[in-house]
């Protein structure tokens, strides 16, 4: 009888179109904390005693930009983080000719750093930043090196990260691309996400393929729909299927 890891390896090998749907747990092995675990951002105290959900909301950004950027720079940006074996595994599959599409809720660019080429970023990226007045582009270093609130060196407007804050809608083109990829794939791997954040979690219901697999430390509301469920760290699962 095949072990669950052998079964997963076979599913991946036989996949014609593989979609990898990732959340914060995908990047935890790279040293980036998630939101909802015991060590996640939701459990961390802050001076205002507000939840990260409030601190990284559009209204907080508008009303209290100094406090927003103080939290954002310290808790949301990890410029030295490197791709872990999970990011590298799926990038390698794509580079070897496998049809792999990544849909990620993460804003860290680690899939791209690993070498993945087809990546749909549902929540944007910390590495893209634009002036709210003239739309001038700035990289992450500009944000991190700014004293307090980053301002445009051309028009003095506030430079906002190209990330989807709470209260903001997802990009409709990215939504369309992500849903289409899920509808067309025959294998869907869901990695490191609680599947509790909507509308992204609802995309799973568009899957019509053969196999759906969840790799997440905690149970998700969609586990009963899955062919395989691993309540483990992604790095451990990747090591097991590579043996």
85-140 tens-digit pLDDT: 999 999 999 999 999 999 999 999 999 999 999 999 999 999 999 999 999 999 99
Residue 194 belongs to domain spanning: 1-31+82-123+169-243
The pTM is what?
0.92
Residue count (the chain): 243
> Average pLDDT of 18-37?
88
Q: What is the pLDDT of residue 2?
A: 78
44-97 tens-digit pLDDT: 554 556 777 888 999 999 999 999 999 999 999 999 999 999 999 999 999 999
End-to-end CA distance of the chain: 17
Q: Is residue 135 part of a domain?
A: no
Q: Is residue 141 part of a domain?
A: no
Number of domains the chain is built from: 1
Q: Is residue 64 part of a domain?
A: no
Q: Is residue 214 part of a domain?
A: yes
Whether 123 sits among the annotated catalytic residues: the reply is yes
Q: Is residue 109 part of a domain?
A: yes
- Long-range contact pairs involving 37-46 (C-beta distance under 8 Å, separation at least 24): 37/217, 37/218, 41/75, 44/75, 46/71
Q: Is residue 3 part of a domain?
A: yes
Q: Is residue 237 part of a domain?
A: yes
Q: What is the pLDDT of residue 1?
A: 56
Q: Is residue 137 part of a domain?
A: no
Strand partners of residue 188: 19, 212
Active-site annotation holder among 87, 111, 123, 127? 123
> Average pLDDT of 136-162?
97
Domain of 108: which CATH number?
3.40.50.1220
């Amino acid at each position: 009888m095949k072990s669950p890891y052998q079964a997963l390896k076979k599913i991946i090998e036989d996949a014609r179109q593989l979609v990898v749907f990732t959340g914060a747990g995908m990047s935890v092995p790279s040293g980036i904390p998630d939101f909802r675990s015991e060590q996640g951002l939701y459990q961390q105290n802050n001076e205002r005693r507000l939840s990260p959900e409030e601190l990284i909301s559009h209204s907080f950004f508008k009303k209290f930009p100094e406090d927003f950027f103080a939290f954002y720079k310290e808790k949301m940006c990890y410029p030295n983080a490197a791709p872990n074996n999970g990011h590298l595994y799926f990038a390698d599959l794509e580079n070897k000719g496998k049809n792999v599409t990544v849909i990620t809720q993460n804003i860290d660019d680690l899939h791209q750093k690993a070498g993945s080429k087809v990546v749909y970023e549902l929540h944007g990226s910390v590495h893209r930043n634009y002036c709210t007045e003239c739309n001038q582009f700035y990289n992450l270093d500009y944000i991190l090196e700014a004293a307090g609130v980053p301002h445009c060196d051309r028009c003095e407007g506030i430079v906002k990260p190209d990330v989807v804050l709470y209260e903001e809608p997802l990009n409709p083109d990215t939504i369309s691309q992500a849903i289409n990829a899920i509808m067309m794939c025959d294998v869907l791997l869901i990695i490191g996400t609680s599947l509790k954040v909507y509308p992204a979690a609802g995309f799973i219901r568009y899957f019509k393929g053969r196999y759906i697999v969840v790799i997440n430390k905690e149970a998700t509301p969609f586990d009963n729909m899955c062919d395989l469920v691993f309540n483990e760290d992604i790095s451990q699962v990747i090591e097991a299927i590579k043996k």
